[in-house]
Structure 1
């Protein structure tokens, strides 16, 4: 059986320059370790807010590393350097706007600025790409909201079957 690979990409000028530690990527990995019973491997990248670089990495992780899921953090706001959704849209064949809609709806319960967030998700081949916000607290809130649909989405795009720790996370798969 092929090893399950999950891409984790932190997009941050400051973290990539060593100004501060990447706590966001670590939070994604922590949550995956809690929720997944399947053995999996993280394909981790830390890069500056550069659209071309992000597109190259998304393509590499999807096409060459065969990640079934790529989760990005950062670069989803309205600032000039925030280009994560643009890179995601550029490399995906299908967009799944419901992911971003759900994450914004959840985030609005905590902060009114959630309407400024531009998270999205899409599919490239057999890979689901999900854009999360940059703060660890927001990552947990948003990923908890959309993760119940992720394993079934990966099933539908002929990715590997993700076994879930049902004591920690309830997912939906039709009978």
Structure 2
């Protein structure tokens, strides 16, 4: 039902010097949840390139969900959150807060992730960590609420309230 674009931010991956296992894992997880991957790219850790890809996936390809992996740490080349801020219209703070909170249950280093999430048009953009382990833990944790968020964003559902028991 939902279409997905995957963007891996990796200088070495873009040069073919490293295999992109995080992006492939994202692809496996979203397909297992019934999503369709329409775009998948590996680009250098470059703010302008990342922003352009996100805009292309949202504005031209009209993808429902754009997932990035990598570039969310403290390295000077880690600019994925900044590129995301350049393109989103509204932040979805709870998603990135949930990812960090869940990660910190596993390791205190989870607090070092700078990933963000937000909306551009009819697309939800979420920054995931770069390691396959963290990608799996994060993505599996957020898939159910993200599905509901996409349903609301795309007008497929209008109710967020749970019935009173």
With normalisation by structure 1, the TM-score equals: 0.85
1:64-113 Cα shifts (integer Å, max 9, x gaps): 00100000000000111111111111101100111111111111122221
What is the match of residue 139 of structure 1?
Answer: 135
Residue equivalent to 1:60: 56
**Alignment-derived partner of residue 30 in structure 1:** 28
Partner residue of 1:13 out of 7, 11, 14: 11
Alignment of 1:1-175 (within 5 A): 4-36=2-34, 40-158=36-154
Residues 69, 130 of structure 2: 8 Å contact kept: yes
Contact 1:125 1:157 in 2 (8 A): no
- Unpaired runs of 5+ residues, structure 2, are none
Aligned residues: 161
| Superposition RMSD in Å | 1.9
Asked whether the 8 Å contact 1:75–1:82 carries over to 2, the reply is yes
Paired position in structure 2 for 1:165: none
Work out the CA distance in 1 between the residues paired with 2:91 and 2:111.
Answer: 19
Q: How big is the shift at 1:151? A: 1.4
CA distance in 2, matches of 1:50, 1:35: 30
Q: Deviations over 1:34-57 (max 9, x none)?
A: 111x5x233101000000000100
Equivalent residues of 1:152, 1:173 under 8 A apart = no
Note the residue ranges of structure 1 that are not aligned, 5 or more in a row.
Answer: 162-171
Runs of 4+ in 1 over 6 A off after TM superposition: none
TM-score, length-scaled by structure 2: 0.90
